[in-house]
Structure 1
């Protein structure tokens, strides 16, 4: 109890006769009154005379050169009595008489002597002496204050004016040198950590953010400190049942510590029993959770940008639009037109044609719609207004769908997608599969316990009723439970950042639940609070606190090298596992085309075999030989082709052109570029055999050369 926190008021007048050497350098607040003014010249002369009486003089002066108050009062009382008796002797004739202790016969001159004593006025060892109705009056007391050097007079007291302080600085010292403060803290990374070296002693055993901050503050405010760990390893929580505080708060309330420098949150309950400085760090409550596994890349990831419902709706829209444009095209007269003349002779071309065609057949309608959807267009063009309206609306639809798909595809394929069961506190409160808890005896627990917000009250009821308990005794235990899985830890954001930056398996879920700050705690009414607050503000303005934060959070060498690819600012390179499905679709499409081509080949061979009256195998063999011939003509034989623009079974050639006759034979020209003179088959008996436009080119070339 011998330090600056305690103030002692001594009622004895003999404070100067005591040895105060042990109290000077601890800055103990000692205040006392002095009745004998040893600085008065008359007093010092009388004391010097007393020292000459040996050994009686040393006993009176207590071997300190300063007379005790009792001896000084006795000296003054004898002095006053002698002076009063001398005055009585001058004015009266003293009549000595025998006195008896058994008979009450007062001395006749006693009343006169009392009156002379009451009117006495003189200066003694205890100052000016005078009486009023038998009581001393008009005296003064010197006010003394213990300083580092010695007791010094800092004021006076008298009956008329009371206390007059002549040295106010003695009670409000601007700086206290060589004061050792008891600093209470709690081991918590990275704020306070105990070194493993057993050879270290004292404050050198500790390191961390708070230790460096305390060192900077002590240098500015000018004090020494002794760091101690709180016995119960608690910050301080009020127990409503026992109505008692624990932890660091209890130590400060009982004056067993001068300061508390730790990751201690400022809140209303604590502020009501202790004092806090300005906050040196701002923070909030966050949710620590284990990093979920990345979503495995699927072969058909390119399908993810659109939901299954959208894909099915697009398929339905494709069929519906194709059927609609087919029906509208058949009903609209403007979609029917005269076919291109390919095999009509001149006289028939001049006559009114009886044949009209419509390009939008059912197959062409589906082809037109899919070509537009794939942004490739089609060789078919709507002619009627109604079909153009259908086509325009479908183009607008495909524009929006393709643009939306392209934009969302970039996000789905270039950004790593995570599977997170919870996204915020609301989702955490709505489920019961994942447990969650807080630090036992911390401000976070108090926040949920006293919160009036419905969602936080619901979370508190869950945590309080959960068995086994979801509360942990330390942050390390909470982080360990998170890494084990199926547990979320509600903790302060600064500690959360420290844990996340050192373990890539940890992450923060959602934002902060509240906003608060860390402060340095002091007992109620401590003179150090304002001084330390000013020091904290100065350190913040200079950037010292930010430098310390970077030192212990980011520059410790054990920071996790987190993969930045998961951030939206950077994209992943697409691999086979992302868009390999496109190649699968392409291969499937090619295989389907080959199968359809084979089926068409077989079907056409069967049809030609019936027309040519030969076996299917020979027909397929002939067609196959022609198909695999690489150096032959690009044109098929005319006998096996029918005009696609004419009616089936009816062929026409221009009347002006006759088939050439050479040596009595009719020459037939085939697409292979060779001429044959053998007799024509039965189907070609008519010299006016229908030919394709390309075949007519060969005929004209033959006539030009005289064949």
Structure 2
């Protein structure tokens, strides 16, 4: 910190020496001498150009007003200035003409004239005065020097009056060049040091060894609209005791700045501040020209909470603020504040160490971190036969081969197994022939029914065939379960991309370029980081050609959108949240790389710093900050993106459209067509046989069979027999009768066994 001492006599330098004994290496001092009775305005004007803000004025009280007037005339008594008046009589000055100035004026006093004990002693002092002279410019008649002299005289008088009888205080002639002393001097001195009294400057006690005063009170006084007011007290025992609460500070601030219009500087950038588009016939002026999160926040702080006026302005160049090593100056918002062109700066301004060393910040009104903005992977075009994807082509071929081999093996084993040869007539205990139903058609039907998890109405009975079916069922169980699980995972995760998942993935590859805003806090983070991954990323960004740095966030977002997944942008997480609400083809990759906050910036030593900070905390506790963020971050109704994480109670997978499962319908349609073709072929083949057996034309047989097939109310079909010739009709009738009798006997036996 830099302090400027203004003094007008040699005693000021002597007092400065005592101050420097307790100063630290961080304190820098600038010393200038004022000339009483002369024009000191050129000196004060030159000091103003250096940017000093802390001034200690060491001069007698009767010259304080003169020097402050000169400072006010050259605008060295403006905002951000702090004056400490060294004169202990400064609180008695009538500074009414400077009360409404913007500087902070502080002084000290060692007694309170309004205190009852002090007032009583002061009344006694006034009554004993022989003159009635009043010092010009002072509100009270007594000075600190007079008060201390009065208390010293009172201490000696009281000590003499209370001295023991053996103390005979008589005037004696003492030569200066002799060694003779007052005989009772040492004893009287001891009596004086142990005899406390109460005077104008409160209770007086002295150290027995050094004779110095051991107790005294000091009040810190601050100039306000009503004059000097006490803001804190100090004594050796209790230290500092502050007399003002945060609410009192806010009230005093509001009173002091009620006629001031705060200049608030910001920058254009959605959603923090954007220019309003006027309606037809509407003329926008002043703060109405802008809207956004920053405007609403500063309005809540200054207008609604502190009841202060403000005016928004845009910083030239629309920059955040970076330090130029060549010119050794700040630009952007930070430079605007340092040049005293604004009182506050608000936008998405990150609190960094470099900025914090030049300007002051409030408590962060928003916390965030650096993350990666990247384009979402383009979902692959839906395939008609995507249901085949869970298995590779080799697996499908092996499954088809396994199906044919198992079906053929089942057919062969069934013919070899004795238990699979069955009696066609269960009522006949001694059949002449045995039947085997496991021909190739039934074998294929059993295997296909098993793998389709539908089963079959016929089952093998032989040991070998049953073992073969069991193994096939196990194979079908595993393959069907694997297919179902893999199909669900494939269809729901088809759009997932594993190119990059974190900053480490970015650092380990060279195909995807990445960058930040040039000169911003994000680039400073990578430039200063000691983490090897971030150092590697910064080296890659610096060496990339063409440059991967952009001028602002909007340019970075636009570059990500147009790069076709060849560029990733590193930016603050809050800005990413805003962009994701409005660009559905963007996504955030990984978590936060750091943790930081946005704050309201202001020059150092701003009187309103505490009040603005308290207002931010109040808005945070009331939930107003969250409400403001939701208002400006959420996209307008109907235009936002639907979050992929929404709908936890519903299905976790994405809906499947016709494009995804249309191939299944194609297969079903082809199968139905093949079945219809096979049915037509069987029907025509049957018509040919009927035509041969019935001795009729194929057209007659076709229409007869088709008419019967379309007669849906007919449920029984008579058995067709070939027409007999005239010569053999009698013999055929006899054989037909015998077969009918045999069939009737079979039915009779079946009913009996039931």
Per the shorter chain, which TM-score range?
0.5 to 0.7
Kindly indicate whether residue 263 of structure 2 is the aligned counterpart of residue 188 of structure 1.
no
Instruction: Assess if the C-alpha contact under 8 Å between 2:424 and 2:435 holds in 1.
Output: no
Of 609, 622, 628, the match for 1:548: 628
> What does 1:434-449 align with in structure 2 at a 5 Å threshold?
434-449=512-527
CA distance in 1, matches of 2:581, 2:592: 17
Greater alpha carbon shift after TM alignment, 39-48 vs 293-302: 39-48
Q: Which runs of 5+ in 1 are unaligned?
A: 52-60, 73-90, 93-108, 113-136, 635-669, 702-707
1:530 Cα deviation (Å)? 5.8
- The 5 A counterparts of 1:603-622 are none
Q: What is the distance in 2 between the residues matched to 1:398 and 1:357? A: 29
Change (3 A) 1:280 1:10: closer
1:398 to 476, 488, 502: 476
Taking the aligned partners of 2:419 and 2:408, their CA distance within structure 1 comes to 18
Q: CA deviation at 1:311?
A: 3.2
The aligned counterpart of 2:43 is none
CA distance in 2, matches of 1:236, 1:269: 10
2-structure distance, mates of 1:544, 1:678 = 110
Q: How far does residue 373 in structure 1 lie from its aligned partner after superposition?
A: 1.4
- Indicate how the Cα distance of structure 1 residues 393 and 489 shifts in structure 2: closer, same or farther if over 3 A, else same: same
Helix, strand or coil for the counterpart of 2:568?
strand
Call closer, same or farther: CA 1:400–1:241 in 2, change over 3 Å: farther
Structure 1 CA distance for aligned equivalents of residues 81 and 127 of structure 2:
34
Distance in 2 separating the partners of 1:679 and 1:632: 33
Give the greater-gyration-radius structure (CA). 1
Matched, 1:585 2:667: yes
Counterparts of 1:372 and 1:202, CA distance in 2 = 80
Distance 2:619 2:591 in 1: 28
8 Å CA contact 1:237, 1:246 repeated in 2 = yes
Separation in 1, partners of 2:422, 2:137: 144
RMSD: 6.1
Shift of 1:585: 1.9
With over 3 angstroms needed to count, the CA separation of the structure-2 counterparts of 1:625 and 1:188, relative to structure 1, is: same
How far is 1:470 from its partner?
A: 1.6
Q: Could you say which residue in structure 2 is the equivalent of 1:643?
A: none
Aligned residues: 585
What is residue 461 of structure 1 aligned with on the other side?
539
State TM-score, norm by structure 2: 0.59
- Written as runs of structure 1 = structure 2, the 5 A alignment for 1:64-79 is none
Q: Does 1:491 align with 2:591?
A: no
Deviation at 1:14, TM superposition (A): 8.5
2:227 pairs with 150, 153, 156, which one?
A: 150
- Partner of 2:192 in structure 1? none
Contact 1:237–1:446 (Cα < 8 Å) also in 2: no
Distance 1:456 1:622 in 2: 91
| Whole-angstrom distance in 1 between the partners of 2:473 and 2:277 | 74
C-alpha offsets along residues 64-113 of structure 1, whole Å, 9 cap, x if unaligned?
A: 899999xx9xxxxxxxxxxxxxxxxxx99xxxxxxxxxxxxxxxx9999x
Q: CA deviation at 1:627?
A: 4.8
Match of residue 678 from structure 1: 726
The superposition leaves residues 221-279 of structure 1 with CA deviations (integer Å, 9 ceiling, x where unpaired) of 66665655455544455789999876555666787766543323345665666665443
Q: Any conservation in 2 of the 1:274–1:523 contact (CA below 8 Å)?
A: yes
Which of 362, 366, 376 aligns to 1:281? It is 366
CA distance in 2, matches of 1:459, 1:65: 68
Given the alignment of the two structures, is residue 7 of structure 1 paired with residue 82 of structure 2, yes or no? yes
Summarize the alignment of residues 362-381 of structure 1 with structure 2, pairs less than 5 Å apart. 362-381=440-459
Structure 1 residues 148-297: aligned runs within 5 Å: 148=224, 149-151=226-228, 169=243, 174-175=249-250, 176-178=252-254, 179-180=256-257, 183-195=264-276, 203=287, 205-218=289-302, 219-220=304-305, 227=312, 229-231=314-316, 233-236=318-321, 247-248=332-333, 259-266=344-351, 276-297=361-382
Q: Secondary structure at the match of 1:399?
A: helix
SS of the counterpart of 1:629?
helix
**In structure 2, which of residues 560, 576, 598 is the aligned counterpart of residue 518 of structure 1?**
598
Q: Which runs of 5+ in 2 are unaligned?
A: 1-52, 54-76, 114-118, 147-171, 179-211, 710-717, 745-754
User: Alignment partner of 1:482: what SS?
Assistant: helix
Which gives a bigger RCO, structure 1 or 2 (Cα 8 Å, sep 6+)?
1
Pick from 680, 695, 705: which aligns with 1:630? 705
Q: Retained in 2: the 8 A contact 1:302–1:409?
A: yes
